[in-house]
Each structure stands twice: as structure tokens, then as C-alpha cells.
Amino acid sequence: MTTISAADVHKIIVACDAGMGSSVMLAAQLRKSLKKYPVTVEHSPVSQIPADADLVVCHAGLADRARAAAGAKPVIAFQIFLGDPAVEAILKAIKEGGVINV
């Protein structure tokens, strides 16, 4: 398993696929949770992941497409949109200064 330092994460992209808005809700929740930290959170279609992303977060069903679009950028897949352990681990690492398992 690869890890990245949370200190190296300055831009998180929540990638989606023309869904019902759940990923927009997740991006807003991450933005609110990380307001005090030097991290921006943006929402993007999975096919248009920005090159300046440090970390991509997406639903597990989109993970392969996100990895193809993100190139070498790390992709974290989650199963549920709110309260997923993978997303909670990202938040904890950024807030406490740790590593993120990719």
C-alpha cells in the first residue's frame, strides 16, 4: 500500500459521474471540515480531473475511471457518501498531521 503525507495535500478533487448530487454534498462536507486547513476541495467530473489535484476522492464504482483520468495522482475510493471510513481517514490525517493510505 502506498502512502502520501497529509502535509502534501493542498487540493482534493471529489470526482463524480453525472450523479444525483451526492458527490457535491461530500465536497461541501469536506470543504467545511477542512476550512481551517490549507486545503481546497473542488468537485469535478471524473473525466476532467484537474492536473493540479493532489488527491482524488471518488465512489468505488468510478475508481478505475478516476485512476485513468488522474494519471499518477492518488485516488481514494469510498463506498458511502457520508461517514465512509476512507474519507474519515483522510480528514483525520490532514487534521492531525499524518499519512494517507492510497
Q: Which residues are catalytic?
A: 16
**Domains, the chain, ranges and CATH?**
3-101 (3.40.50.2300)
pTM, two decimals, is 0.94
pLDDT digits (tens, 9 = 90+) for 2-42: 899 999 999 999 999 865 578 889 999 999 999 999 999 99
pLDDT digits (tens, 9 = 90+) for 72-102: 999 999 999 888 999 999 999 999 999 999 8
| 72 class by beta-carbon count within 10 Å (0-12 exposed, 13-18 middle, 19+ buried) | exposed
Any residues with CB less than 8 A from the CB of 42 and at least 6 apart, and which? 11, 12, 13, 14, 27, 50
